Structure formats: C-alpha cells, structure tokens
Amino acid sequence: MTNEYLKKPMPSEEKQQDFYQKLRKKVQKWVDNKPGVVGSVSGYVMFAPDLFHLLTRLMLDNRIDAKSKAAVGAGIMYFIAPIDFLPEILVGPGGFLDDVVVAVFVINTVLNKFPTEVITEHWTGDENLLSLVKKVSNSGNKYVSKLPAGRLVKRFTK
C-alpha cells in the first residue's frame, strides 16, 4: 500500500453498512446452499461479517489504545489477506472459519483490557457477543496460536 492509499478517508457510514450487509448475504447464501456439508461450522462462519464489522469499528474508537489497535489491525489484515490458513478464494465463505477464530482471539484480548461496554456497543450481531467469544474461544484458542496472525497478535498484547 502506498502512503496516498492510507491517507484516503474512511468510506461513509452508508458504504460501510452496504459492504457489511452484502457480506452477510453472501455468507448466508453459502450456508443455505451447504447445510449437509457445513453442519455446525456454519454457525461460526455466519459470525464472520459481524466480527469483521466489530474489528473495523474498534479501530475507529478513540478509547482503544494504540497497542490494542495494532492487535485489532492484525485481525483485520487476517480477514482481508488473500492467502491464509483457509483462503476464501479456494473454499468460499467457509474460509472465514479461521478468520472468525482469529477475530475472536483479538476481541477476547481487547475485552480483557477494556470495559465490556466499550466493545459491545459496536457489536451488531444477533448472538450475545460475550457468549460467542466464550464459545469460539473454548474451541479455537489452541488453533489460533498456530496461525501467523495469532502469533502476531500475541506479540502486540504482551
């Protein structure tokens, strides 16, 4: 990325919301078309748009310190990186599963540093954020520490 690209203003609230809704519809369509194949994983994949949205909102929150924003940024980068453990380009929205685990790891780290309300006020998902974080954390903490983004996040949060 060039410095000029980084200087561009954030998309408007409306464009951000449009992107979020389009991503949710795309993931929902994929889940609806793969009920037998995806099984219980589909529930986790459906949280990908909500978690991505939460991470982007946390980046804009002035109450979040620079060190925590670096961890949040690592989570966002993992979402948008073309190559990761389960690349979306190869497996479709099912590739968001590893992104969800990384995002929850980052959010859990931020939740341990700031009042819950600071984080939950940005949450737009249907399920209770704390329940989701606990559920995914219980099944994914071992997994995320092996991913490059998980190691990166740990470096920023020590």
Segment 61-118, tens digit of pLDDT: 999 999 999 999 999 888 877 766 665 555 566 667 788 888 988 999 999 999 999 9
At 50, the amino acid letter reads D
pTM of the complete model:
0.71
pLDDT for the residue numbered 2: 44
Residue that has been written with the tokens 């979040």 in this structure: 64
> How far apart are the C-alpha atoms of 158 and 149, rounded to whole Å?
14
Q: Which range, of 2-6, 52-56, 120-124, 128-132, averages the lowest pLDDT?
A: 2-6
> How far apart are the C-alpha atoms of 117 and 153, rounded to whole Å?
22
Q: What is the mean pLDDT of residues 38-45?
A: 64
